[in-house]
Every structure is written in structure tokens, then in C-alpha cells.
Structure 1
């Protein structure tokens, strides 16, 4: 039998990087246009000024102007290439004995660009170029003329003239480089602020997703616990009391529809961050109690003292979600006995407790953001504390949530 093997897939050839890819900066078309116009105007002014001041207009001078204009136009898009063009232009100018000309102003722009936009290497090459350029200017404009003429001032005056020329040139060149360094710092600070804002947005999104995950767990877990309890009751009562089974099915339908609406709202918030939607409040507690009682639980609620005024929305939501989770645990793990709920609305805090008999102790090692851990996170989000544990054969959940700014949550939860 012939064994034919298909040829191995050949990877698509990667396009080699452009040799100038690391030397060029991303520049918008508008910036290209601005640089082109500035370069053209600078070239016209440079040639016009030479005619006005009577400078030589030979090929050597034209070549110098062209190099300086090219360095100016390249300074934004590629500071290293601009520096590499400016230096040959300056050396050519000095080598051919040309005097200073207006086109030399391009050198200041190039030094600015090396400090503002160049890499770390180009940044320091620009700084070194300022020092070397100052030495070259002092030598070319002071030292060489005195050497060629063979006559000059005294040694002291000679040294003073050289030092003064060097310092003046260094000041002018370093001023341009320093302005570029300041611009570089401003641009980096702007990028840092932009990155910080992006990080804050991501952190806020993660926090919102965590809140929605907690809400999703609370809604689904509570609704399923009610549905399961009602379904079990309807199954056992179907033969003896058909009306009870019908009522249980109605409760299941109502609970499932409410849960579906809540889940749709949460999913909408996931898709659209700005869609907050209504959140549960104290007014919704009675509906929660009715659902639990409809599941066959003997629920006893004691509110003393009652809230005066309207507590903050965050505290109302925390109270609702903690009670929802605690009652869900009572349905799932309780012994079928009575469940006691207590709320005490103090001026600066609200004390909450839920007590029920225990058939199976709730698992305290559920994933973060769910179960008992989720209730603790609910309390912590509003600056409160929560504790849950077995007490005298019952399972008790206690929470202390501050209401007013400056209100302190209890350092410990009294049993």
C-alpha cells in the first residue's frame, strides 16, 4: 500500500521590517503638510536672506542650505536622521569656509526635536552635539581667524574671547535642547495621565462586573431556592390537596418571571455600562418576605426601631441583598423551623440579624463573591461588618452597617 503524506503547511512569509522602521515616528498627514510648508518657506527665506546680506550664492552655499532645510523638515518625523543630516551640513559649511547664515537656525530646531521626540540614545546624542557644536563654533569663529591672521590680542584677551564665544554658543544650543527636554516631560506626563485614566476605567469596570456577579448570584440562588421548595411541596401535596399544588405552581411561575426580569436587567448592564436600572430597596423587602413565606417558611420579622427618613440607597441595597442571601441559605440548609429576622435602624447604623435552625451548615468556602463571602463583601462595600456562624444550635447571620458619614461600624458583633 502506498502511503502518501500531504505536504506540511508552509508558513506565510513574514514581511521584512523596513530598514527605517525604528528611525521614523508616526506623523499624521496634517503634520507632514505643515512640515512641508514650513520647510518650503524656510528655504525661500534662507535663499532670499543670502541675496539681501550679500552672501555667496555658489554651489557650496546652496548645498549647505539644502542640507539645513532637509534637517529641519526631518526633525519631527525622524530626529536621528535630522541630526545625521545637520552635522554633515555644518561640517561642510565650515570646511568650505562659509560664514554663518540664516539657514543655520535649523540646527536649533533639530536639537529641540532630539530632546523632545528622540529615543534615549538620540536624546543624549543631542545633548553631546550641543557641547561639541559650541566647541566647533568657538574654534571656527574665533580661533581659526586669529591663527590665519597671525596677529591678535594678548593671551588673556584671546582666552577670554574664546571662552565667551564657547559659552554664548553653548547657551543658545543648550537652550533649544532644554526646551525640547521640557516638552518631552510634558508629553510623557500626558501619556501617564492617559494611562492612569485608562487603568481607573478598567478598575471601575471590574468592580462593576463584580457587583453584577454578586447580584446575579443573589437573584439566581434565591429564586431557585424558592422554586425548588415550592416544587417539592407541590409534588407531595398534589395528591392530597390539588389547590395547594396549583398555588405552588403559581408561586413558581411568579418567582421565575421575577428572576428572569432581574437577570435580563443585569445582562443589559453588562452590555451597556451606563444602563444602571432600578436597584432593590427597603420597599422591596415585603415582596422578599412573601416569597419566603410562600415557600412554607415560618418567617418572623421584627423591625425595632424603624428607619427615620430614607437611608442611603447603597445601605438599602446592602440590607436587601444580605437578607436575600441569608434567607436563601435558610431555605437551603435550614431545618424547616422558624426563621427570625431582626432589623434595628439606629441614627448612625443599622443592626441586622437572621437566625434559623441548622440541618446542614452552610459552606463557608464558596468562591469569592458568592455565598457567605458575598454577604461579607456586601457589608464591606458600605463600610460595615458581617459575621455568620453557629450559636446554640442555630445559624445566625449578624451585620452592622453604618448609615451616616462618620458613623462607625461595630468593632465586634455581640452575640
Structure 2
């Protein structure tokens, strides 16, 4: 029944209605524009229409009912349309602009019915008089068209405003939804980075701990080196996770992301875990790849090497990276391949979400990734475009 309005809006509407009543009443009594100088009738009609004007935005439905009451009182006093009836246009506008769906259509119906009522009220004596001719009928049609045009026009203006407001609200809701989508994508990216960092670091720590335990009996000096690697890896992982969590709390500030220059440190961590690692880069990139491609390459290699540590048999791991200037598809790309022998009965595809994350990273930059066993080895292959097609 009542719309939520700010206090100043209610005050403005009440002041406008008061000014309307103070001006319209005396003017109609002085000049007799409504066809009668009855003080009681003028006062009642003016007050009723002013009341409808005052609550038109607060309660468009109630305002419409008050306007109809004012019209009935006006006709009961035999008054012709006057200045007070201008409030009807504001009420019809409000029903279309601010009313509920029911009030919206009640306002339209009132405009149509009101035009017919005005016509019958003003010309009923002429229309239904014996011997009334074409002149009376023509006058009735003219009054009906004029009243219908004026009333429906005010309602139509309100409907257009309603449409514009709804469109603005929809655009605002769309922007909010897009912002939420971007924020969710950022959270997913951070979660994926946390997974990659923690999984890789823990794999290195576990490999170092196991290696130190087995070598302690024969080579006591291996333990301090292993503990140093574990400490360095854990500190690096802690720093990375803190950075990622900071980005999660303050998504507007992006911290430094891994680049190709950080791959050597990644390789060193794997070698420190006791896994032989061979790197083949041919050809090398001709120019600095985009940051998003460098990040994707780093994260994919990080996850692939983590899988090799966790699920491999401890044998050699080979990494091949190629940056062909033209791979036959009209654009440069980077090709990745990681191979390692699998531990018997162990398949990385049935463990965790690492492979899914690698595939998502490849698809985000427009590339593809495949990870599957092949001739006793587990092979991760990926191709990532570096630029748009030529």
C-alpha cells in the first residue's frame, strides 16, 4: 500500500499539495471557473484533490482512490472541471510511474473510464435529449477524444518514466552481477594458485623428508641439507600463500606473479628433492611473452612437476618447452611437455584437482592441455597461444 520514501520526499509532496490547495481554492471561488461559487463544494473538492496530490508517490493506489472520491464529490455538487482537476493528471502519472502492477493497470483503466465519465457528465443532457442530432454526438466524440488523450497522455508519460527507471535498475543489477562474477573469478584464481603453491611445496618437503630419512643411516650429513631445503621451500610457500591471501582480501591490488624467470627456482626445488630433471627449451621465445602466458606456463609446469614428485617412481623427469614463431596456425604459441615414469598402480588422474586446474589455466588463455599415461609414462602436453591469430 505504501512505498518507502525518504522524509524529504514526503515533505516536498505535502508542501506542493498545500501550495496547490492555497492557490486553487481562492482562484476558483474568485473567478468561478468551476461553474459555481459554492464555498463548501470548492473547499471539499480542493482539499480532496490536494490530499490525492500529497500521497501520490507514497501510495499511488490510495491516491487514485482519493482522486475518484474527489471526482464523485465534484459531480455531486454539479461543478464543472476546474483547476483542482489538474491533480488528476499527477495522480495518473504516479500510478504508472510508481504503482504496483495492479495499480499500474488500474491507472490506465481509470484514464479510459474517466474520459467516458467526463463526456457523459458534461454532455449527458445534450446527448440523451429528445431530438438530439449529429451536433450533440459530434460534441460528445470531441470531448471524449480530448479527455482520453489528456488522461492517457499523463499515464503514458508515467509509464515511460517507469520503463526508464526499470532499465536503469536492470543496468545497475547487471553491473553488480558482473562485479560479483569478476570477484568470484578472482577468488577462484587465488584458490587455484594457493593449491598449486601448497601442493608443490608439500611435495618437495615430503620428498626431502623421505630422502633424508632413508639416507640418514649411511650419510648423516644428508640430513642438514635436506632440512635446509625443507626450510627454504616452506618459507617460500608461506610467503606465496600470504601474498595470495592478501590479494584475496584486497582484490584491487595485484601482487607480483610468477614469470619465466622464476622457472629456474622451480627446477632447483625439484632437483633438490632428489629427482633428476632435464630441461629442453628449443626454440627460445623471440620476445617477452605476455604476463598471462608466463603465469600459465609457470603454473602448469609447477603442477606437472608436483605430480611427478607425488606419483612418479623417482626416476628422471623431462621437460620440453618450445616457442615456435609460427606453429602453422597463423600465430605464435608455446608448447609444453612433461614426462615421467609412473609409480605402479598410481595414476594422477584419480587424485585431487591438479589436472583440472592445469586444464582450466590452459583454456583461460585460449589453449588446450592433455594429461594421460603413454607407454608407461605419464605425459602432460599443452599448447598455449601467445597472441591473436594473424
- How high is the TM-score relative to the length of structure 2? 0.94
Q: What is the aligned counterpart of 2:40 among 59, 73, 93?
A: 59
Q: What is the aligned counterpart of 2:100 among 116, 119, 137?
A: 119
Match of 1:39 in 2: 17
Are 1:394 and 2:372 an aligned pair? no
2: CA distance, partners of 1:71 / 1:262: 65
2: CA distance, partners of 1:366 / 1:403: 30
Are 1:363 and 2:348 an aligned pair? yes
Match of 2:54 in 1: 73
What secondary structure does 1:242 align onto? Answer: coil
Q: What is the aligned counterpart of 1:237 among 210, 215, 218?
A: 215
What secondary structure does 1:386 align onto? Answer: strand
1:22-33 paired onto structure 2 within 5 Å: 23-33=1-11
What secondary structure does 1:300 align onto? Answer: strand
Whether the 8 Å CA contact 1:130–1:170 is kept in 2: the answer is: yes
Match of 1:302 in 2: 280
Are 1:376 and 2:359 an aligned pair? yes
User: Between Structure 1 and Structure 2, how many residues are aligned?
Assistant: 380
Are 1:155 and 2:140 an aligned pair? no
Unaligned residue ranges in structure 1 (runs of 5+): 1-22, 408-415
2: CA distance, partners of 1:157 / 1:254: 103
1:197-346 paired onto structure 2 within 5 Å: 197-346=175-324
Give the C-alpha shift of residue 273 in structure 1: 1.6
Give the C-alpha shift of residue 57 in structure 1: 4.8
Match of 2:387 in 1: 404
| CA shift digits 1:131-152 (9 cap, x unpaired) | 11111111122223676xx698
Unaligned residue ranges in structure 2 (runs of 5+): 326-331
Whether the 8 Å CA contact 1:50–1:57 is kept in 2: the answer is: no
1:72-111 paired onto structure 2 within 5 Å: 72-111=53-92
| CA shift digits 1:257-289 (9 cap, x unpaired) | 000011111211222221321111101000000
Match of 1:354 in 2: 338
| CA shift digits 1:217-263 (9 cap, x unpaired) | 10011000000111111122223323321111111000000000111
Give the C-alpha shift of residue 357 in structure 1: 1.1
Match of 2:144 in 1: 166
Match of 2:328 in 1: none
Give the C-alpha shift of residue 52 in structure 1: 4.1
**RMSD over aligned Cα atoms:** 1.6
| CA shift digits 1:198-221 (9 cap, x unpaired) | 211222122111111111110011
Whether the 8 Å CA contact 2:368–2:382 is kept in 1: the answer is: yes
Match of 1:12 in 2: none
Which range moves more in the overlay, 127-136 or 231-240? 231-240
Whether the 8 Å CA contact 2:349–2:372 is kept in 1: the answer is: no
Whether the 8 Å CA contact 1:112–1:177 is kept in 2: the answer is: yes
Whether the 8 Å CA contact 2:311–2:348 is kept in 1: the answer is: no
1: CA distance, partners of 2:78 / 2:20: 23
What secondary structure does 2:379 align onto? Answer: strand
2: CA distance, partners of 1:364 / 1:196: 38
What secondary structure does 2:349 align onto? Answer: coil
- How high is the TM-score relative to the length of structure 1? 0.88
1: CA distance, partners of 2:282 / 2:26: 93
